[in-house]
Amino acid sequence: MGTISRKLGLQLTGLVCAVSAALVTAAAVAATSGAPVRVGGTLALTGPLAPTGLIHKIVGEIYVEQANKRDGFLGRPVEWVLLDDQSKADLARSLYEKLVTVDRVDLLLGPYATGGILSAMAVAERHGKLLIHNTLGIPKLAKYERQIPVYSIGAVPEQTLPATLFDALAANGKTPKTVAFVTSKFPSVHFMSVGARETAKKRGINEALWLEFEFGTRDFGPIAARIREANADFLWVGSIGLEGNQLLEALKKLDYAPKNPFFLYPSPGPLAQSPDAANALSMTLFEDHAPFTNTPQATEFARLYRERAGKAGITYLDADMQAAVAYAAWQTLEAAVTATRSLDDAKLAQWLRANRVDTLIGKLRFDGAGNYGDDLQKIKQVQAGRWITVWPREFAPPGARMNLQ
Amino acid sequence: MRPANVQARPVPGQRPAGRIGAAVAVLVALACLPLAHPPAFFESFLYLVFLWVALATSWTILSGYSGYFSFGHGAFFGVGVYTTATLTTAAEMPFLATLPLAGLASMLLGVGIGAVVFRVRRLRGELFALLTLAITFVLATIALNTPIDGGPGVFLSGVSLPRLYATPASTLYLMALLVAALALALAWQLQYSRVGRALFAIADDEDVAEVMGVPTFSYKLRAIGLSAGLAGIAGGIHAVFVTYVTVSETFSITVPLYVVLMSVMGGMRRWYGPALGAIVVTALTYAFVGGEWALAGRALIGLTLILVILFLPQGFAGSMSSLRARWQPRAARPAMPVAHVAPRPSTASDAVSGVGSDGAGAPFLRCEAIHMAFKGVKALDGVSLEVRAGEILGLVGPNGSGKSTLVNVITGLLHPTAGQVLLDGIDLARLPAHRAARAGIARTYQIPRPFARLSVLENVALPAMFGGLQLAPAEALERAREALAFVGLLDRAADLPSMLNLHQRKFLELARALAIRPRVVLLDEVLAGLTPAEIDSAIAMVRSIRDAGTTILFIEHNMRAVLALTDRLIVLNQGRVIAQGRPADVVREPQVIEAYLGTAAC
């Protein structure tokens, strides 16, 4: 008898818990009603770009949850129609066709990476849709008037980023006399490296080395040997993903530590956690520290990201630039919808081109050439296994400074 | 005895012509689809289906049909992509005008590769696959380090498309449909043509195909040229579809891997097999694009491939054909109106003339001072002999004496280090093997080497098409039936060679040799492994072949058969002729006895 009572008690407790949970959930979504606002987009959830695609997916899920806990979009719940483009630009194109013509989503968000974004942009243009995107690496390729680049690197990042970088070195009294450039021929990387080379030339910095390697190179031994031979004051590494780590390993085998290495688009976790990458430099728009995280929204975002990323098996848990630009894209979309009280693509695009939007990565504008605004890129550095913003100084956390040789 | 069903497998000259109308109707219906204004996604989805149909089908024209497994399709595709990308942007050429050039550029690349690689016998199988893959990477490097790309990629957003339909998406859809239809039509045409048969034979045993008269080199060049050209056109269209072209995505491993996957899944030796694979893989790709299903979708494609390889090794198309053949009742075939007499030589002028009392006529095939060395080891050392019209010339010798090497030299498979093989005064010694076959020289193999994946009938029809007779496919089939009837295998015509026993496979070899109505046939140990009763029937058959006027070079160890059959006998030892003359005399010569038995110890 006692056993039956205990079992009944447990069942009742479970029932109460379930009902309570349902009520809480219902309360959470009670703020929104009506047909959902459907936001469509693709991400590289499989294929070679999937590690970064996963970051964007986690952030999107966080944002949609947060939006629905508030008021959704225009009081309607937000539904994210996310498709996997498998890291293929041609698939991205047809999936955006699907989102627009079959799924009939209300709004679009861009995919990850330049090739996919350009494919999606062509579809958006054919259908007159607004396309907010966040990782287009070559701004001059964006020709469509209703494309909105949240990745705020300015219209000519190949000039402005190297300028920021060399300014940072100069401000710290370490203007290099010689610079060695090694760069992948990955399109968005190579384009930036060429710009950096020209900037260095204009500033009178001697070029000790210019070396190109193919995307997909695994053996960095010969490249490392040339870098050691050049022994420049500053090393520009036009790399993407794990190339930077592989180069550092090759340099270590030669027992050579480059002076002041800068890595363009590294995999943030592996490079920050590499014992050979102390004081390595890179570019950023957001890092998980003050002053970026000074607002409650940013703090909450960083906390949630850390929590979700850990569950997803990501090893570097700090919310960094990729996570932040993904969030900023959603912020931009919501800001336009809220301000215009509309889902009309033309109105949204017009409003965005005329107004500024507050996001995690700064106050964005889209009224310049190619709808680009300011270059908000900053310089970050690996310090104690974390990325710390070190330039401009007002974005560095208290007490942090740039360590240079 | 099983009734013959020689229609069970597709054979040359027997195209299912009634289906052409249906195919054209489907093509027209698909071409008109944009008029119904479907959602753009469907056009976009179907575009990718047709793109992969075109690529996979073009791949199979080379690799499925001829067996040259290529990983270079990415190179041909990439050349097409960059030809269009460069010409439309740098040269501002109209898009449509670039497509033939894209196809041509890829075709020239393919033919160029083939012209070098196909001459080297060892570059087959995995070496060919690796070589073609390496070429892809070489081309990627060239594109990346020259103004063709240079690194930043090529952006084609400004390229204007011809307005075949209201929207660019519809136009691209139509173009992909047309190139897919072209690829399928060519694959279909090839499969049922003599060229297709030749390519299938090359896939099964290239050397044998060449010896049976197939000009393997030129046919392989045709296959790779066609395959590459189609891939190039597809690439040219795709450049505009993606609008932004980069080296890393264009010359990636994706294209070759996908076309192999699709072709294996669909069936590589059927014209429609790769298309089935392309449809299934593309549909699966789209079936699981939902964010929650992404990984599961990829896993499912992998699992499907594993299951197909395990349970449908011939792919969907091959398995469908097998099932159809199993379900269709084997129609009892009326007896062929074929006289069971030996086929005669192909032309009247080849008929035996001036045959003497010993059954032999004037010499018409002469080997003069043939030398053959392999890395310094002499296999033939100045062999001279003549074959007279209408005779059975025996060729014997201990193992390693050079008999098979001599047969390979006479049939053109090996080119001698020195010496001549004269047939009617023409030296065949340095001509490709198929020229010897076309001149009327046929052979059998000591260990039967049938084309494993061709039916018994197709095995015999092939030399009739390509050997001395050069028959049209339909005539070749009739000729093959005659030859099979002669050797008693007509009822097995629809079977695969693996279903025959050794005795029957030996006779299949004989039927293949006779199918060209040879002037001289080289029987290489045709009796080896047969029972005494089978040997007796074989001896009778060889005799009736000679009686019909065909000259025979009879290479054999069985001395009973040699003495019973041959008019003259030549003995080889250590690459030299040590005796020749009447068989009864030759076998008594001391050097012959010594060669076979060795010198008695003192």
Report the CATH number at residue A139: 3.40.50.2300
B169-185 confidence digits (pLDDT tens): 899 999 999 999 999 99
Same domain, A49 and A191: no
Percentage with pLDDT > 70 across chain A: 92
pLDDT above 60 for B371: yes
Contact B498, B471 (CB under 8 A): no
List the end-to-end C-alpha distance of chain B, in Å, as a whole number. Answer: 59
pLDDT above 50 for B252: yes
Mean pLDDT of B390-394: 92
pLDDT band at A101 (very low <50, low <70, confident <90, very high): very high
Residue among B250, B281, B249 at smallest CA distance from B263 = B281
Rounded to the nearest angstrom, the minimum Cα separation between B169 and chain A is 9
pLDDT above 90 for B207: yes
Tell me, yes or no, whether A63 lies in a domain.
yes
Considering only the beta carbons, identify the residue of B140, B144, B244 that sits closest to A115.
Answer: B244
List the end-to-end C-alpha distance of chain A, in Å, as a whole number. Answer: 78
pLDDT above 90 for B120: no
Considering only the beta carbons, identify the residue of B44, B152, B242 that sits closest to A190.
Answer: B152
Same domain, A162 and A138: no
- Residue whose token pair is 């001289």: B520
pLDDT band at B549 (very low <50, low <70, confident <90, very high): confident
Mean pLDDT of B2-25: 58
pLDDT, residue A37, reads 98
| Joined tokens for residue A205 | 């910095």
Residues of B whose CB is below 8 A from A43: 291
pLDDT above 80 for B394: yes
Q: What are phi and psi of B97, to 5 degrees?
A: -65, -25
Asked if residue A291 has a cis previous peptide bond (ω within 30° of 0), the answer is yes
The residue range of the domain holding A314 is: 37-155+291-376
Candidates A56, A97, A114, A212, partner chain B, best to mutate (most B CBs within 10 A)? A97
The chain-wide mean pLDDT, for chain B, equals: 86
Contact A50, A241 (CB under 8 A): no
Mean pLDDT of A253-258: 96
Burial class (CB in 10 A: 0-12, 13-18, 19+), B387: buried
Q: Tell me which residues of chain A, numbers 84 to 103, contact chain B at a CB-CB cutoff of 8 Å.
A: 84-86, 88-91, 93-95, 97-98, 100-102
A123-139 confidence digits (pLDDT tens): 999 999 999 999 999 99
pLDDT, residue B329, reads 56
What is the rounded CA–CA span in Å between residue B281 and residue B278?
5
Burial class (CB in 10 A: 0-12, 13-18, 19+), B130: middle
What is the rounded CA–CA span in Å between residue A404 and residue B581?
97
Angle at A372 between CA A366 and CA A374, to 5 degrees: 90
Q: Looking at chain B, which residue has its C-alpha nearest residue A99?
A: B41
Is A190–B289 a contact, with Cβ atoms under 8 angstroms apart? no
Q: What are phi and psi of A28, to 5 degrees?
A: -65, -35
Q: Interhelix angle for B40-66 vs B254-266, to 10°?
A: 80
Percentage with pLDDT > 70 across chain B: 90
pLDDT above 80 for A228: yes
pLDDT, residue B331, reads 46
Contact B416, B446 (CB under 8 A): no
| Joined tokens for residue B418 | 């020195």
pLDDT above 90 for A338: yes
pLDDT above 60 for B208: yes
Same domain, A273 and A386: yes
Tell me, yes or no, whether A15 lies in a domain.
no
Which top CATH class is B358-597? alpha beta
B306-343 confidence digits (pLDDT tens): 888 788 888 888 888 777 777 765 544 443 333 344 55
What is the rounded CA–CA span in Å between residue B282 and residue B276?
10
What is the rounded CA–CA span in Å between residue B83 and residue B578?
64
pLDDT above 70 for A19: no
Q: Looking at chain A, which residue has its C-alpha nearest residue B44?
A: A94
Same domain, A371 and A383: no
Residues of B whose CB is below 8 A from A119: 242-244
List, in order, residues 6 or more apart from B192 with CB less than 8 Å away.
Answer: B10, B11, B12, B13, B14, B15
pLDDT above 80 for B360: no
| Residue, of B128 and B18, whose pLDDT is higher | B128
pLDDT, residue B15, reads 58
Is A114–B289 a contact, with Cβ atoms under 8 angstroms apart? no
Contact B385, B570 (CB under 8 A): yes
Write the CA distances from B326 to B5, B9, B10, B321, B521, integer angstroms.
11, 11, 15, 9, 37
| Joined tokens for residue B574 | 């250590």
Is A93–B40 a contact, with Cβ atoms under 8 angstroms apart? no
Highest mean pLDDT among A182-186, B165-169, B223-227: B223-227
B235-245 confidence digits (pLDDT tens): 999 999 998 99
pLDDT above 80 for A179: yes
Tell me, yes or no, whether A51 lies in a domain.
yes
Same domain, A296 and A346: yes
Is A82–B290 a contact, with Cβ atoms under 8 angstroms apart? yes
Same domain, A47 and A122: yes
Same domain, A119 and A255: no
Q: Looking at chain B, which residue has its C-alpha nearest residue A127?
A: B40
Contact B55, B122 (CB under 8 A): no
pLDDT, residue A12, reads 46
The chain-wide mean pLDDT, for chain A, equals: 91
- The domain limits of chain B are 40-326, 358-597
Candidates B50, B141, B173, B249, partner chain A, best to mutate (most A CBs within 10 A)? B249
pLDDT above 70 for B1: no
Percentage with pLDDT > 90 across chain A: 83
pLDDT above 60 for B359: no
Q: Is A21 helix (H, G, I), strand (E, B) or coil?
A: helix
Residues of B whose CB is below 8 A from A122: 157, 243
Q: Looking at chain B, which residue has its C-alpha nearest residue A125?
A: B157
B40-326 carries CATH number 3.20.20: no
Tell me, yes or no, whether A32 lies in a domain.
no
pLDDT, residue A20, reads 47
Is B291–A43 a contact, with Cβ atoms under 8 angstroms apart? yes
pLDDT band at B11 (very low <50, low <70, confident <90, very high): low
Is A46–B44 a contact, with Cβ atoms under 8 angstroms apart? no
Residues of chain B contacting A, Cβ within 8 Å: 39-45, 47-48, 140-141, 144-145, 151-153, 155, 157, 167-169, 238, 241-244, 246-249, 254, 285, 288-291, 293-295, 297-298
Rounded to the nearest angstrom, the minimum Cα separation between B45 and chain A is 6
Same domain, A212 and A248: yes
Highest mean pLDDT among B353-362, B395-404, B453-462: B453-462
B460-474 confidence digits (pLDDT tens): 999 999 987 789 888
What is the rounded CA–CA span in Å between residue A119 and residue A126?
11
What is the rounded CA–CA span in Å between residue B402 and residue B397?
8
Q: One fold for both B40-326 and B358-597?
A: no
Tell me, yes or no, whether A280 lies in a domain.
yes
pLDDT above 80 for B358: no
Is B291–A190 a contact, with Cβ atoms under 8 angstroms apart? no
Same domain, A42 and A124: yes
pLDDT, residue A24, reads 43
pLDDT, residue B2, reads 39
Same domain, A314 and A369: yes
pLDDT band at B356 (very low <50, low <70, confident <90, very high): very low
What is the rounded CA–CA span in Å between residue B114 and residue B225?
8
pLDDT above 60 for A31: no
| Residue, of B20 and B273, whose pLDDT is higher | B273
Give the pairing type, strands A362-364 and B244-245.
unpaired
pLDDT, residue B350, reads 43
Tell me, yes or no, whether A1 lies in a domain.
no
pLDDT above 90 for B548: no
Q: How many domains does chain A have?
A: 2
Same domain, A84 and A150: yes
Same domain, A246 and A319: no
pLDDT, residue A178, reads 97
pLDDT, residue B6, reads 37
Dihedral sign, Cα of residue B572, residue B575, residue B576, residue B578: negative
What is the rounded CA–CA span in Å between residue B220 and residue B201?
11
Q: Is A308 on the interface with B (CB under 8 A)?
A: no
pLDDT, residue B500, reads 94
Contact B315, B265 (CB under 8 A): yes
pLDDT above 90 for A1: no
Q: Which amino acid is at B415?
A: H
DSSP state letter for A173 = T
Mean pLDDT of A160-170: 97
Candidates B242, B252, B284, partner chain A, best to mutate (most A CBs within 10 A)? B242
pLDDT band at A299 (very low <50, low <70, confident <90, very high): very high
Q: Where does B307-437 show beta strands of DSSP type E?
A: 363-374, 377-388, 392-396, 418-423, 426-427
pLDDT above 80 for A253: yes
Q: Interhelix angle for A345-354 vs A321-340, to 10°?
A: 110
pLDDT above 80 for A355: yes
Of A212-221, B181-190, B294-303, B471-480, minimum mean pLDDT range: B294-303
| Residue, of B233 and B131, whose pLDDT is higher | B233
Q: Tell me which residues of chain A, numbers 213 to 232, contact chain B at a CB-CB cutoff of 8 Å.
A: 214-216
